[in-house]
Structure 1
Amino acid sequence: MAEHKADPERTGSSPRALGATVRTLAETLWFPAFFFTGFLVCYLLPFHNPVPHHVDVAVAGPTAHQLGQALEQQRPGAFDVHQVADAQAAHDAVTDRAATAGFVPDAEHPRLYVAKADGYSLEAVLQKTFTGVAQHSGGTLQVHEAAPTAPGDGMGTGLFYLVLACTIPSYISVMMLLRATTLGRGRKVLTLVSVGVVESVVAFLVARSMDVIPDDLLAVPLVFLMTQAVALTSYGLVPFCKQFFPGVAMGLFVLLSMPSSGGAIPVQMVPGFFRALHPVMPMGNLIEALRGLFYFDGKDVWRHTLVLCAWVAAGAALIALGAWKERRAARKAAPGAAEEAEPAEPPVEDPAFELPQPCAVAPHQHRVGLPDPGLTGQVTDEDGRPLAGVAITVTGAHGRELVRALTDGRGEYAAAGLADQYVNVIASSPDRLAAVARIRVRDGHPVRHDVRLASRHVPA
């Protein structure tokens, strides 16, 4: 009886097979692992037990120093107290955004000026803290809203959800446009701008209809700037981050932006790392700009607008740099300089939205939802008659087969989903001489390559 030995390569027990499996799992699961860790660190950490950090309080009168020392002993690092002249100055400090709260330590009627526009949870902490201060002095605290929110924004978080509704779709728009290989860079940028216009107008109208925000149309261009800060920067990062782009973009505009925005949890109540990010991230700057516009007489709107403009400019610069990089690579990969060509860059892969794979499609039979061909052509004989059943093979820069198709009854073929690169198109038939050509496939510029095949049999 013949003895059969197990093949370690087939059973997967060899070190090489195990290494390949580990590598495949790492390449497949890195993004969910990154997202899982990111949510634990960036959401559970700052939101599980929010406490105040260095909340500015303007205190009227000479007792400010003593009150500051008492609060520091009770809650170290929670409040920064500074003295103002009188009750009106304490109120104005809140409306001018020079302080988060204003306190008037009157023996009989102590007053606390707060701004619900800065967040309901912060207001609740301030009321609880200074209710205790007032009771210790024998008085009953009177709370005055110096900057109330719109009637439909009872929790003071409406701006956060308005901004969130425009942030994530801006990133997703980039991911979906990466699938549109028939659109060039210019049309994709124009599409992102158009989507931003629609998002900002619709978001404003919906929020206004729900009475979540006041009626101020200047909010529309501010929201539009934020959509472009996210969309253009994300699109500009694609050629530099390659397959890691989803993690980089989601890390920037979701994992880091939301906790540091000060929208869901006031920025004064999150850890120091996120407080440090607050002045530079687009989401937080839009929320602060809208707060200033709606509730604080335009205070510091210009400063936050400049930060948003800087993000838009950075995105535009990245896109321009990516275009230059592509042209430089194309010159090196031009016919006649193949030996000097850089290795082909892998297409960006999004773990949430699968990019189109190269495939053969039927010529002249395109429907909504199906990919449009980026490469088409016709194969004919020496006399110009179409040749059916000719094999068309498209290979990449290193000879890897991308698409294989057969010409139809009219000698035509079509292929879709090809990335921006140089490809080799090989036309072959058993009774004819094969033809090979090097073709540049570009996003937004469908290429037609016709082939004429000569017969293998030389006439007598």
Structure 2
Amino acid sequence: MPHTPWRRLLGLGAGLAAVLTVLALAFLWPAVTSEPRDLPVAVAGPPQAVAPVAQGLDERAPGAFDVVPAADRAAAVRLIETREVYGAVVLGQQPEILTASGGSPLVAQQLAQLAPVLQQQTGAPVPVTDVVPLNAGDPRGAILGAVTFPLVIGGMIGGIAISLAVVGVWRRVAAVTAYSALGGLAVAGVLQGWFGALGGSYLVNAGIVALAILAVAGVIVGFVSVVGRPGIAIGPVLFLLVANPIASAAQPWQMLPVPWGAVGQWMPPGAAAALLRDESYFPAADTTTLWLALASWALLGLLLAVLGHFRDTGAATHAALEEASEDAAPELVSA
């Protein structure tokens, strides 16, 4: 048996090294480039007092915070609970730092570090109050910060397996829908019932996970229906190398370079992570955009699967008509 040519061996090594480099860049780039950028933070107090604090924050951390004025402490709390800000600085006779570790433990820690500075300026004690604390089952926010990776891998495995093992578009659609629904119930059961990392409604959380799985698996099934087996490669490239690194599950999306943080919230991993966090900790937040993002990806996959089915059906019908006309031609001539 002949040996593999050295040229081919070197080419294979170079190609694998390039793939490894791309993987490293995809997963390490967010950590290298992330830094506080325009993080919305409320400052509650009289207008004449808000401006100096905003200026002081900008001098302390240039470009890190985007100050949102609030009339009083109650207004600042409402802004936090609706996820319009990550925390607040309350001025007045009783200064206070309001944090929300349920929204971002990282930003909560940064805001807590402002308490000694504010205390030096006011001469009064400045307590730090965690308005939205993390659940006891996830005291450091590590589980929610890592939830996107298993969702992406689970969606990819299901989409690839169904594309290879199931024949027939409607059977594939039924299989990927059933897999996503059962996966949503199971994964949400583990995260909420076993680990205690999620709050809110179990069925809502299960629906979020199911939609995330369907968004990934359904798109893979859809692309396979349209372009054949090469469509399997689209899943790892799109969701694992592009969407997952910019999902911002463990940090605010504002910390990524523009526009990647915002783009990540429109892709399945980022939308799912943000939805699970909002449903667990911020039930008053407006989540319409996130639900729309997940539903759009899931619908895209199903539409691609159906499109591939009708394309194949049309091609088969055209081929059958051509074959029938070719068979009929000799008979007409002989007649």
Interval containing the TM-score (normalised by the shorter chain): 0.7 to 0.9
The residue number in structure 2 matching 1:69 is: 55
Correspondence for 1:116: 101
Which residue in the other structure is 2:172 paired with? 188
- Separation in 1 of the partners of 2:38 and 2:59? 14
1:236 aligns with 2:228: no
* Counterparts of 1:266 and 1:335, CA distance in 2: 58
Bigger Cα Rg: 1
- Aligned-residue offset at 1:149: 2.0
Contact residue 173 and residue 305 of structure 2 kept, 8 A: no
Identity %: 26
Counterpart residue number, 1:219? 205
Matched, 1:176 2:161: yes
Contact kept in structure 2, 1:118 and 1:156, CA below 8 Å:
no
Specify the alignment match of 1:86 in structure 2: 72
Contact kept, 8 Å, 1:165 with 1:203, in 2: the verdict is no
Match of 1:265 in 2: 251
Q: Find the aligned partners of 2:323 and 2:117 in 1 and give their Cα distance.
A: 79
SS state at 1:83 partner = strand
Aligned equivalent of 1:413 = none
Unaligned residue ranges in structure 2 (runs of 5+): 327-335
Unaligned ranges ≥5, structure 1: 1-9, 341-460
CA 335–33 in structure 1, closer or farther in 2 if over 3 Å, else same: farther
Give the Cα–Cα distance (whole angstroms) in 2 for the partners of residues 99 and 295 of structure 1.
14
Amino acid paired to 1:111:
E
2:267 matched to which residue of 1? Answer: 281
- AA aligned to 1:157 is A
Aligned to 1:200: 184
Name the one with the larger strand percent.
1
Asked if the contact 1:174–1:234 (Cα under 8 Å) also holds between the matched residues in 2, the reply is yes
The residue aligned with 1:60 is 44
Alpha-carbon contact 2:254-2:261 (below 8 Å) kept: yes
**Aligned counterpart, 2:113:** 128
- CA distance 1:204–1:87, change in 2 (3 Å): same
- SS in structure 1 of the partner of residue 128 of structure 2: strand
How far 1:32 moved relative to its partner? 6.9
Contact 1:171 1:234 in 2 (8 A): yes
Contact in 2 for aligned 1:115/1:145 (Cα 8 Å):
yes
Pick which of 258-267 and 280-289 moved more. Answer: 258-267
Matched, 1:152 2:137: yes
Task: Tell me the equivalent position of 1:290.
Answer: 276
Find out whether 1:249 has 2:222 as its counterpart.
no
| Alignment map for 1:261-410 (pairs within 5 Å) | 261-334=247-320, 336=322
TM-score normalised by length of structure 2: 0.83
3-state SS in 2 of match to 1:81: strand
Q: What amino acid sits opposite 2:207 in the alignment?
A: P
Classify 1:103/1:244 alpha carbon distance in 2 versus 1 (closer, same or farther; 3 Å).
Answer: farther
Alignment RMSD: 3.0
Q: What amino acid does structure 1 have at the position aligned with 2:245?
A: P
Higher RCO (CA 8 Å, separation ≥ 6 residues): 2
Higher helix proportion: 2
Q: Tell me how far apart the structure 2 counterparts of residues 12 and 259 of structure 1 sit (CA, whole Å).
A: 37
Match of 1:95 among 81, 94, 102: 81
